[in-house]
Amino acid sequence: MTRVAIMILVLLPILLRAAPGYGRDVLPILSDNCYRCHGPDAKAREAKLRLDQKEGALRVKDPVVLPGNSAESELIARINSDDPEERMPPPDSNLNLTAAQKETLKLWIEDGAKWGKHWAYEPPKNQNCPSPRTRNGRATKSTSLLPDDWRQKG
């Protein structure tokens, strides 16, 4: 019984992990570490590669990101390379990805490398809020957010 409980505790975070979102998780990593050489500035761009546009990152010729296949994606190979000539970001940039950032990029690719926009340009989504409750016979939206015992105490 205890082995089962331990296995559940170990595996639960893996099973419940949310897929990385492009605007929330991936875009900040790419913009902070990759756009200097692979972003919108044509004069600074290297290797004719743009990672700030879907067409560049998911290009058909010499693909950098293979959605659903992080093991074959050049992006993952480069960020994990020990060879200073191959590693991205290059050592002379003084930029380093953390293990968590590398894992985020890997999971994003494994989950299909879904492209998106910066979160500020995404339309807001309705959240499921509790229905309005009544207070002294009047319905208020703010009271619906309070715990029941607080509402009972007034």
Q: How does pLDDT run across 3-40, given as a tens digit for each residue?
A: 776 766 666 565 556 789 999 999 999 999 999 999 99
Q: Report if residue 78 sits inside a domain.
A: yes
- Rounded to whole angstroms, the Cα distance separating 82 from 106 reads 17
Per residue in 74-119, pLDDT tens? 999 999 999 999 999 999 999 999 999 999 999 999 999 999 888 7
Strand pairing partners for 140?
133
Task: Give strand ranges (E) for 48-147.
Answer: 133-135, 138-140
Domain count, the chain: 1
Tokens standing for residue 95: 């930029």
Q: Which residue has the tokens 């009047």?
A: 138
Q: Report if residue 138 sits inside a domain.
A: no
- Rounded to whole angstroms, the Cα distance separating 64 from 114 reads 14
Q: Report if residue 103 sits inside a domain.
A: yes
pLDDT category at 122 given cuts 50, 70, 90 is confident
Please state the rounded mean pLDDT for residues 115-132. 77
Q: Report if residue 96 sits inside a domain.
A: yes
Per residue in 40-75, pLDDT tens? 999 999 999 999 999 999 999 999 999 999 999 999
| pLDDT at 154 > cutoff 80 | no
Q: Report if residue 91 sits inside a domain.
A: yes
